[in-house]
């Protein structure tokens, strides 16, 4: 099959983060500072990504502002000709740092939102005072006119606040709001019972987003990711494995998606041991699930296979025990009953479930 060039790259600059969100998509085994790539190596990766055809670079983490060299990294990405998007909690972005980021060509900021009140947001983020600091940073971003997306990760504890979330996005001057219902990867799998919304919350969210989208056309654009456990069909995760984007972990491991390391039999290459071109086109992990040939007959004979590519490989492994299986979220999957059973168990525990916060392991 012919392999298209990647469009986007997610650079996980660090796993360090002052927040401790229980739904973090980072792996359970987090990398410490000592494993992070240097400024020069990241800059090389950005240059190679641009040569490979990448257009958009997402500077992410952890909290990318935890890297003291964030301005140098952004400059390097801009000079490589990449559109730069900073994915941040806002903590660590002082006015002076924002000025410097703007000066070196930062194109866009994606600010996370844990909740619409200090009590809720600080409880979910596990960081006291975080909401107040985030609102101050949002005001600085608005004052500078830097294009802003508000990324609201939604779950059972904040979905009832969706209308207020939309109002807040407008107040903060966001052009786009991501209503991103938690996907169960990384730390979210540990917190499934605490985070899973109810079916009625999910239905209400769909109605609220549809109504707001129509009412706010031209003011606020929406990206809505509904909770896929309630869906009939899975999402086209990553737009298809190894077809649109690549992720680089803080230590340089190059991944087809953020959760790919949960598939134990895959061999991952590391940058700069190999070039990004070699890894993208010839890497074993990138080729493992490209296309649809690995999928079972259920998918191969299905009219939706060109739409969702059989769903998410990591979810297929986690729920069906086989990364090549039909994503069990699909109502046509022979494993779909496992999703129904998970839903029932998680909902039964519901409000009684406590958060396990994402924390770096303590040294020594
Ligand atoms: Fe998608 Fe496979 Fe389900 Fe068809 S059977 S909808 S291709 S996951
Ligand atoms: Fe890995 Fe979906 S998160 S393929």
**Which band of pLDDT confidence, cut at 50, 70 and 90, is reported for residue 363?**
low
Tell me what the mean pLDDT of segment 56-73 comes to: 97
Task: Say if residue 272 is preceded by a cis peptide, omega within 30 of 0.
Answer: yes
Mean pLDDT value across the chain: 96
pLDDT of 238 strictly over 60 = yes
**Which band of pLDDT confidence, cut at 50, 70 and 90, is reported for residue 351?**
confident
pLDDT in tens, 293-339: 999 999 999 999 999 999 999 999 999 999 999 999 999 999 999 99
* Tokens (6 digits) for 198: 């109810």
pLDDT in tens, 28-51: 999 999 999 999 999 999 999 999
Q: Is any atom of ligand 2 closer than 6 Å to the C-beta of 285?
A: no
CA distances from 101 to 59, 84, 146, 151 (A): 12, 10, 10, 20
- The residues near 350 (Cβ < 8 Å, ≥ 6 apart) are 156, 193, 196, 198
pTM of the model: 0.96
pLDDT of 1 strictly over 90 = no
Q: Is any atom of ligand 1 closer than 6 Å to the C-beta of 308?
A: yes
Distance CA 63, CA 24 (A): 11
Which ligand is nearest to the Cα of residue 333, counting in written order?
Answer: 1
Distance CA 363, CA 294 (A): 42
pLDDT of 364 strictly over 70 = no
pLDDT value at residue 61: 94
Is 181 labelled as part of a ligand binding site? no
pLDDT of 362 strictly over 80 = no
Beta strands in 97-147 (DSSP E): 108-113
Which ligand is nearest to the Cα of residue 240, counting in written order?
Answer: 2
Of residues 128 and 352, which shows the higher confidence score?
A: 128
* Residue with CA closest to ligand 2 atom 2: 312
pLDDT of 259 strictly over 60 = yes
Ligand 2 centre to CA of 262 (Å) is: 9
**Which band of pLDDT confidence, cut at 50, 70 and 90, is reported for residue 360?**
confident
Closest-lying ligand 2 atom to the alpha carbon of residue 312: 2
Is 314 labelled as part of a ligand binding site? no
**Sheet containing 56-60, strands listed edge to edge, beginning at the edge strand earlier in sequence:** 221-225, 176-181, 148-154, 108-113, 83-88, 56-60, 8-12, 245-248, 254-255
pLDDT value at residue 267: 96
Q: Are 56 and 79 in contact (CB under 8 A)?
A: no
Ligand 2 centre to CA of 106 (Å) is: 28
The single-letter DSSP state of residue 206 is H
* Residue with CA closest to ligand 1 atom 8: 310
Ligand 2 centre to CA of 133 (Å) is: 32
Ligand 2 centre to CA of 309 (Å) is: 11
* Residue with CA closest to ligand 2 atom 1: 314
Closest-lying ligand 2 atom to the alpha carbon of residue 256: 1
Q: Is any atom of ligand 1 closer than 6 Å to the C-beta of 298?
A: yes
Q: Is any atom of ligand 2 closer than 6 Å to the C-beta of 318?
A: no
ipTM of the complex: 0.94
Q: Are strands 254-255 and 245-248 parallel, antiparallel or unpaired?
A: antiparallel
pLDDT of 24 strictly over 60 = yes
Ligand 2 centre to CA of 24 (Å) is: 14
SS (H, E, C) 35-61: HCCCHHHHHHHHHHHHHHCCCEEEEEC
Closest-lying ligand 1 atom to the alpha carbon of residue 330: 3
């Amino acid at each position: 099959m012919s392999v298209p060039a990647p469009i986007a790259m997610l650079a996980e600059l660090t796993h360090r983060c002052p927040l401790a969100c229980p739904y973090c998509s980072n792996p359970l085994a987090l990398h410490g500072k000592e494993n992070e790539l240097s400024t020069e190596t990241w800059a090389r990766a950005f240059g190679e990504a641009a040569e490979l055809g990448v257009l958009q670079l997402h500077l992410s983490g952890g909290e990318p502002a935890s890297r003291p060299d964030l301005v140098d990294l952004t400059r390097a990405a801009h000079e490589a000709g990449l559109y730069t998007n900073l994915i941040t909690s806002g903590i660590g972005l002082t006015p002076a740092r924002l000025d410097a980021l703007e000066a070196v060509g930062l194109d866009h900021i994606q600010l996370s939102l844990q909740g619409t009140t200090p009590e809720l947001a600080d409880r979910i983020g596990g960081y006291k005072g975080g909401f107040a600091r985030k609102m101050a940073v949002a005001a600085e971003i608005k004052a500078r006119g830097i294009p802003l997306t508000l990324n609201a990760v939604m779950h059972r504890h904040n979905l009832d606040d969706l209308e207020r979330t939309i109002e807040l996005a407008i107040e903060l001057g966001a052009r786009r709001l991501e209503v991103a219902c938690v996907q169960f990867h990384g730390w979210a799998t540990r917190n499934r019972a605490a985070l899973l919304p109810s079916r009625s919350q999910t239905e209400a969210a769909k109605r609220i987003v549809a109504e707001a989208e129509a009412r706010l056309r031209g003011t606020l654009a929406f990206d809505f990711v509904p909770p896929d456990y309630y869906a009939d069909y899975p999402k086209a995760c990553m737009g298809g494995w190894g077809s649109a984007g690549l992720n680089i972990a803080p230590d340089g491991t190059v991944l087809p998606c953020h959760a790919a390391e949960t598939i134990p039999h895959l061999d991952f290459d590391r940058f700069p041991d190999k070039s990004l071109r070699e890894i993208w086109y010839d890497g074993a992990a990138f080729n493992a699930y490209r296309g649809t040939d690995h999928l079972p007959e259920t998918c191969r004979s299905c009219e939706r296979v060109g739409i969702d590519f059989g769903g998410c490989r990591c979810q297929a492994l986690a729920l069906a025990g086989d990364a090549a299986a039909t994503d069990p979220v699909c109502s046509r999957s022979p494993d779909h009953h496992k999703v129904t059973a998970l839903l029932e168990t998680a909902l039964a525990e519901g409000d009684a479930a406590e958060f396990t916060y994402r924390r770096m392991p303590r040294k020594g």
